[in-house]
A and B are shown apart, each in its own frame.
Chain A
Amino acid sequence: MSIMYLLMPLAILLGLGFLGAFIWAVRQGQFDDLETPKFKMLIDDKDKGVRNE
């Protein structure tokens, strides 16, 4: 069972990696507007005018 002493910190590191990715995404503003994007994909590319910050 001593492998646990390696695996658990590794698992936590993995979690921290995802946390880092999440913080990066938040800083990028990816969670600022959760309403508009789901409709934007329905609009044809040629009307690209509506865009997000």
Chain B
Amino acid sequence: MGRLFTFRHLLFWDLEMETIRLYVGGVHCANCLKKINSLQNSLQGLEEISFDMSTNTLKALVDPEKLADLDLQNAVDDLGFQSRPLERDESTDRISKQQDRMDLIRIGVAAVAAANVMLMAISVYSGANTTEANFMNFLSLLLAIPAITFAAWPIHRTALKDLWMARVSVDLPISFAIIAGFILSSWSLLRGNEHIYFDSISALIFLVLSSRYLLKRVQRKYLGLSRFQNLFQIENVEKLVGNLWIPTDMRTLNPGDLVKVASGHIVPADGVLAEDPTIQSTTRAAIIDSSLLSGESRPSNVQLGETLFLGMKNLGGEIVLKISKRFVDSRLNQMLLEVEKAVQAKPRSVQILDKVGQVFLLIVFAVAAATFLYFYSSDPFEGSRRALALILVACPCTFAFGAPLVFSLSMSKAAKLGALIKHPNVFEKLGEIQNIILDKTGTLTNGQYDIQDFKVLDDAVDGAFTEDLAKALFLCEQSEHPVSRAMARKLREYGIKPPPTLQMNFRETPTLGLFGDVDDVQYKINSEGIWRNNIQLVSAQMGDRLWPESSKLILSLKKLGFPVFLLSGDSELRVSELAKDLGLNPTHVFSAQTPELKQEFVKLAPRSLMVGDGANDSIALAAAHVGIAVHGSLSTSLQAADVYLLKQDLGLIPKLFSISKKVQQVLRRNLYIAGTYNLIAGTMAVMGLIHPLMAAILMPLSSLSQLLSGLSVLRGEK
């Protein structure tokens, strides 16, 4: 990494700098770049910032004492972009960059060889005399050597690996055609024969390499998404040792340990809510945000003796926890392991192309062998010439570069619309979908526990009204509870400002709300409103809101003929109400689903498409035939999903279906074109009618038809 030396480095040259890497979505133009750029002037402790639009990666050199990761991330988000932390480790990045460069050099070598050999081939075809032709063919041979050895090495390598592992892939016939063509041509050159195909071979190598590079680039651009950091930061917690609370790494806690969890902090391990033995306190319940595990944003109340899980967040006052499981055995960790396992074990559906490719290959080799055997007794040279010509001419263009081109074009088209596709086989799998399963919170609804209906009750107004609201706002801001937070946001929207300080007595009670005594006035704030001495000042209603696209999505999915299921961790009442609004079949709606139940459901429904968000959906996403993670999802769900929506627009899902349909149409058409070509060219080769000039015309023609046909995936559906 080029490290920039600023004055600060010269003055404090032992300064510890840190590199932060973020994935930033939504940077498309010079203006965006300028905005990112301007952070350098506005953020303290940001030494250097660079942005790579080809991988959407922001790299910043920061002074960790002045600027925390999260501050930088928030600053980027405040500019209107969506950022996610990437792994600190750059080694994978560096290796892929090296590979990219090597690929480019190979393409360059193949291009120089192909272009020059073709020039010479033109002179030969246009009637050079024998000595000149021999000279030029000899130069062609020399030029083709680096192309078939160095440039085509990745193809040969895969082919060798295939032979070793006794399987068949596209690289095997390509590699075979290259080598066979080279041997045939060199041999013809030595024998003064006219069957010289150096031009066709080098052009084939160039086309195969460049189309693969294109596909890799498109995939690479979004690969960063699957390399996000952990869900939460590992922090120290206070553990009771003897009579003292000692800070301890949360990963080292053992069953039986007692730990303190401060307000606003993560529950460090699975455990039971306990009493604090060091003080004589009254027993009280805890207010817990379990959205990471359940996906539901409504905070829950947990009583003494009930179990809390790693990853939940303590919203109320300080609580004490008796650990029941080690960090590694926790439910969340088990879930993450499950996701990893499922992602690795996900059966890569055998693609139609692979199957057709194998059959095609067998036929070509069988016919070549038959041709050779037919001539074996009479003219073995002629037999091997025809067999080699057949293998060379029956180029598996569709498999070699037609398909990668179609995939890269359609993936970048989907990405432009706002859907990132991890692997091209998604297009095929989408065509096999039979059931659609939707998550509720965060997917169909905005997932934010927010105030939907906020009314200031006029009859409560007296002179001190705004002052009352200001005091209420001050109280709200003392609390971590989402209701208080939402209320505070709303009050600030109304232009209320809290007093700088306030003498008060403040307490939070689960289910009842937040109480504060200021002088002799008592304020009460809960999800239904704000009270002053039992007189209601403000009425409010909480809930998460349905996205406007949700009902349209369900309508269009039904029109496509899919049964649509709704799974939610929320209570039955809320879910069934919502399902009625959406027009869903009540028997297709399931409430109070745990992550494990969702996964079970997905596994039982054949060929299911699961749409979800959050860590709670990730095991279900991984189990689904196709998993789609919606905008704003947590890193685990991204790892588990096949598709990630960059925009909050569920309307993309039907569009994905139509793109998938188009892709399959084009691939099928490519197959027909290639089949026709191979039938004609192959027959001619077997009959000994293939002349090198003919091959030089036919082969590019077949490639061109693949390219033109492939380009048509870009049409339609803007």
Bound complex: CA A12 to CA B40 (Å) = 49
Flag if A50 contacts B120 (CB, 8 Å).
no
Flag if A43 contacts B104 (CB, 8 Å).
no
Bound complex: CA A7 to CA B635 (Å) = 60
CB B581 to nearest CB in A, in angstroms, measures 43
| Residues of chain B contacted by A26 (CB below 8 angstroms) | 101, 104-105, 108
Flag if B37 contacts A50 (CB, 8 Å).
yes
Bound complex: CA A12 to CA B201 (Å) = 18
Kindly specify which of B45-53, B250-258, B675-683 makes contact with the partner chain: B45-53
Q: Name B270-318 residues within 8 Å CB distance of A.
A: none
- Residue of A12, A36, A47, A49 near B52 (CB, 8 A) is A36
CB B141 to nearest CB in A, in angstroms, measures 12
Q: Beyond A47-B38, A53-B50, is A19–B30 a contact (Cβ under 8 Å)?
A: no
CB A27 to nearest CB in B, in angstroms, measures 7
| Residues of chain A contacted by B115 (CB below 8 angstroms) | 15
Flag if B101 contacts A31 (CB, 8 Å).
yes
Tell me whether B377 is interfacial, beta carbon within 8 Å. no
Q: Which residue of B lies closest to A51 (CB)?
A: B50
Q: Is chain A's binding surface mostly helix, strand, loop or mixed?
A: helix
Q: Mark A18-35, 1 if CB is under 8 A from B, else 0.
A: 110011001101011111
| Residues of chain A contacted by B423 (CB below 8 angstroms) | none
- Residue of B33, B49, B109 near A40 (CB, 8 A) is B33
Q: Beyond A15-B116, A26-B101, A26-B104, is A39–B53 a contact (Cβ under 8 Å)?
A: yes
| Residues of chain A contacted by B100 (CB below 8 angstroms) | 31-32
CB B43 to nearest CB in A, in angstroms, measures 11
Bound complex: CA A51 to CA B52 (Å) = 9
Flag if B135 contacts A5 (CB, 8 Å).
yes
Flag if A36 contacts B53 (CB, 8 Å).
yes
| Residues of chain A contacted by B40 (CB below 8 angstroms) | 47, 49
Bound complex: CA A32 to CA B115 (Å) = 24
Tell me whether B525 is interfacial, beta carbon within 8 Å. no
Flag if A43 contacts B139 (CB, 8 Å).
no
Bound complex: CA A3 to CA B185 (Å) = 26
Nearest 10 pairs between A and B by C-beta? A35-B53, A42-B30, A39-B30, A49-B40, A36-B53, A50-B37, A35-B54, A33-B54, A19-B112, A22-B108
Q: Assuming A5-B135, A9-B139, A23-B108, what are 15 further A-B pairs, CB within 8 angstroms?
A: A8-B120, A8-B135, A11-B116, A16-B112, A19-B112, A31-B100, A32-B100, A34-B54, A36-B33, A36-B53, A39-B29, A47-B34, A47-B40, A52-B50, A53-B52
